[in-house]
Chains A and B, each alone.
Chain A
Amino acid sequence: QVQLVESGGDLVKPGGSLRLSCAASGFTFSDYYMSWIRQAPGKGLEWVSYISSRGSTKYYADSVKGRFTISRDNAKNSLYLQMNSLRAEDTAVYYCARHYGSGPNWFDPWGQGTLVTVSS
């Protein structure tokens, strides 16, 4: 079955860095656009970044532009999010999600999420 499993979440100090991973299985990973979406504790969903199927196109939310970098390794069926200069407001559960198609479409499925806590 289609499955996404995130890892890499941790407690990190403000200004620190962290790399999240998302392992995909059950589908042809290289055919799909992918996104990272986050949810701060007790808050709503916020789209963070997306990457095209071959990795040539990347978009970021203004809140993370210049600090976060999305990438993928299609040979390893893996999606990544490199997070630098972390701030307290980056504290959230980070989900990876598969896009339908190449346009601004829906996300399905989602992984179970990985928690990033930014605190001194």
Chain B
Amino acid sequence: QSVLTQPPSVSGAPGQRVTISCTGSRSSIGAGYDVHWYQQLPGTAPKLLIYGNSNRPSGVPDRFSGSKSGTSASLAISGLQAEDEADYYCQSYDSSLSASVFGGGTKLTVL
């Protein structure tokens, strides 16, 4: 059971917008720790998608956006494309565990 909670799966048609939630606790996201998001394409290593809640690394399309509020965060993907089909993970820090923590991952299916 992961410290951060994500829905196991989401889906959307090409061109649509989907959101993936990431729920933590008062010792993780709620304590003010930033949330970061990773994209893992099949058979590959995770790749940084969003850092510091809402910042995109160079090369990441602006179709991807992140936000944080209270004990939760969200990743939004607009204008869905077939190549967006992947697993998405959120990451933060939990002070009660003194550890970086991940969500269980969300599999995005593009219909």
* Residues of A near any B CB (own CB < 8 A): 35, 44-47, 50, 59, 61-62, 95, 100, 104-113
Contacts and interface: CB of A to CB of B under 8 A. Distances in A.
Contacts of A35: 100
Contacts of A112: 44-45
A100 B89 contact: no
Given A104-B33, A110-B45, A45 B99 contact: no
A52 B104 CA distance: 26
B103 A44 contact: yes
Interface of B: 2, 33-34, 36, 38, 44-48, 51-52, 57, 89, 91-93, 97-105
Contacts of A104: 33, 92-93, 100
A61 B91 contact: no
Contacts of B33: 104
A67 to B, nearest CB: 16
A109 B101 contact: no
Contact of A44 (B34, B48, B99, B104): B104
B45 A111 contact: yes
Contacts, number: 58
Interface centre among B36, B46, B48, B101 (most CB of A within 10 A): B46
A106 B38 CA distance: 10
B48 A107 contact: yes
17 contacts: A35-B100, A45-B46, A45-B102, A62-B97, A104-B100, A105-B51, A106-B34, A106-B36, A106-B91, A107-B91, A107-B100, A108-B48, A108-B57, A109-B47, A111-B45, A112-B45, A113-B45
Contacts of B51: 100, 105-106, 108
A61 B99 contact: yes
A95 B34 CA distance: 22
Task: Name the 8 nearest CB pairs between A and B, nearest first.
Answer: A104-B93, A106-B36, A108-B48, A47-B100, A45-B102, A110-B45, A44-B105, A106-B51
A35 B51 CA distance: 17
